[in-house]
Amino acid sequence: MAERILITGGTGYIGSHTAVVLSQLGHDIVLYDNLSNSSDAILDVLQEITGKPIPFVKGDIRDTDLVIHTLKSHNIDAIIHFAGLKAVGESVEKPLDYFANNIQGAISLLKALQTQSINTFIFSSSATVYGEPQYLPFDEEHPTNALTPYGRSKKHVEEILKDLASSNPALRISCLRYFNPVGAHESGLIGENPKGKPNNIMPFIAQVAIGDREELCVFGDDYPTSDGTGVRDYIHVMDLAEGHASSLAFLENNTGWHAFNLGSGTGFSVLELIHAFEEEANCTIPYRIIGRRAGDIAEYYSNPDKAAKLLGWKTKRNLNEMCSSTWQFQKKLN
Ligand code: NAD
Ligand code: UFG
């Protein structure tokens, strides 16, 4: 059923791809973002891709009154909450910023939601809630022992949502634990375009490939993994976006609080990722092995069975498609 959906953080990387998928499924979308890590220039691009204008409100999620006004004036039925700070390393240096934005922000949004009796809420959580693996692959029952303020902010919001769901049986809440989102829309018009030096590996590789950066630093080759470099479960951002559509459909028939891993179930090492990118971009990525990055975990990947069973969702795009779409986007940017 078509719904009117508020997407917080909607001009950001994952929010914008999700907006495309949901708009093309016939939902009415409203984007809400303070533009702290994105630009409203994306609105024209989204219109070009979807063929229709997408309403946008510039605002902070901590401005509860503005959120309430937005929910009322657009008659919103459901919220997908992407807005927040997401740099793991920065969260260690500025924990209060992360708690203020990610936790206070979520509380403000939920207060606004309650005033309008909106029941459907999807939260962008993260695989970082699990912390050091006690076993692999991570399933949703794995204990959550997040290691950084960023990861703890996600874990706390998940717990707030669980308490809220216990207090009100009408609520329908999904916490989607993303593994490592990469890649871009097939048009090459939207993708991940971080401000400043990328923290994440895929945009860094793409900037090396295009010649904006000299070389990639590989953070450690002495991990107990197949080739010594870190292993992650990379997921194409369009698969991830489609996971939100599946979650929305699931919540139509299910109340309560639910957590789902959104990942492919397969881990790739840093060197495997570099080689896949080289193949797709037909280039060589110069790299240098340096020491480990503080706080990195050697290896983790998802068990995606719960999402397959209950959401009817699984990833469709492989590592090569993640690299080729990133490359198409990077070439159009430059
Ligand atoms: P992004 O930075 O591209 O998008 C987040 C958007 O939220 C930005 O447009 C930013 O301007 C906006 N924003 C930040 N604080 C805000 C506030 N207080 N009020 C209104 N808008 C605000 O990040 P992304 O990669 O698209 O991530 C989206 C969500 O997914 C985040 O919550 C992030 O923690 C989560 N997540 C991301 C990853 C990843 O690797 N990209 C992995 C797991 C989870
Ligand atoms: N890496 C490098 N060089 C770089 C950047 C990263 O070797 O320049 C390595 C890392 O050590 C790690 C892998 O590449 O082994 C992936 O690192 P990213 O920084 O791309 O991603 P993380 O796994 O650290 O974290 C990401 C997001 C989090 C999210 C998490 C979910 O940044 O927000 O995935 O799994 F929560």
Question: Tell me: the pLDDT tens digits for 200-245?
Answer: 999 999 999 999 999 999 999 999 999 999 999 999 999 999 999 9
Identified catalytic residue from 13, 32, 98, 150: 150
Tokens of 111: 């207060």
User: For tokens 């895929």, what's the residue?
Assistant: 202
Ligand 2 pocket test, pick from 232, 237, 271 with the greatest ligand atom count within 8 Å of Cβ, gives 232
Element containing residue 123 per DSSP (H, E): strand 120-126
Token output for 21: 């998928």
pLDDT of res. 294: 86
**In this predicted structure, what is the pLDDT of residue 89?**
86
CA-59 nearest atom, ligand 1: 20
Q: Which ligand is nearest to the CA of 221?
A: 2
State whether the beta carbon of 181 lies less than 6 angstroms from ligand 1.
yes
Stretch (H or E) spanning 256: strand 256-262
- Ligand 2 lined by 171 (C-beta under 6 Å): no
Q: What is the mean pLDDT of residues 95-116?
A: 97
**Cα 13 to ligand 1 centre (Å):** 7
Rounded to an integer, what is the distance from CA 298 to the centroid of its chain? 21
Determine the average pLDDT of the residues in 181-195. Answer: 95
The answer to whether the predicted template modeling score (pTM) of the entire model surpasses 0.85 is yes
Which ligand lies nearest the alpha carbon of 83?
A: 1
- The burial of 234, by beta-carbon neighbours within 10 Å (0-12 exposed, 13-18 middle, 19 or more buried), is given as buried
**Catalytic annotation on 150?**
yes
**Residue 11, ligand 1, Cβ within 6 A:** yes
pLDDT tens digits along 10-31: 999 999 999 999 999 999 999 9
Q: Is 9 in the pocket of ligand 1 (CB under 6 A)?
A: yes
State which ligand 2 atom lies nearest to the alpha carbon of 216: 8
Angle at 130 between CA 260 and CA 139, to 5 degrees: 45
Q: Which residues pair with 172 in a beta bridge?
A: 120, 256
CA-nearest of 287, 282, 284, 277 to 325 is 277
Tell the residue nearest (CA) to atom 15 of ligand 2: 230
pLDDT on residue 187: 97
Query: Is residue 268 classed as helix, strand or coil in its secondary structure?
Result: strand
What pLDDT, on the 0 to 100 scale, is given for residue 186? Answer: 97
CA 226 to centroid of ligand 1, rounded, Å: 32
Ligand 1: distance of its center to the CA of 102 in Å?
10
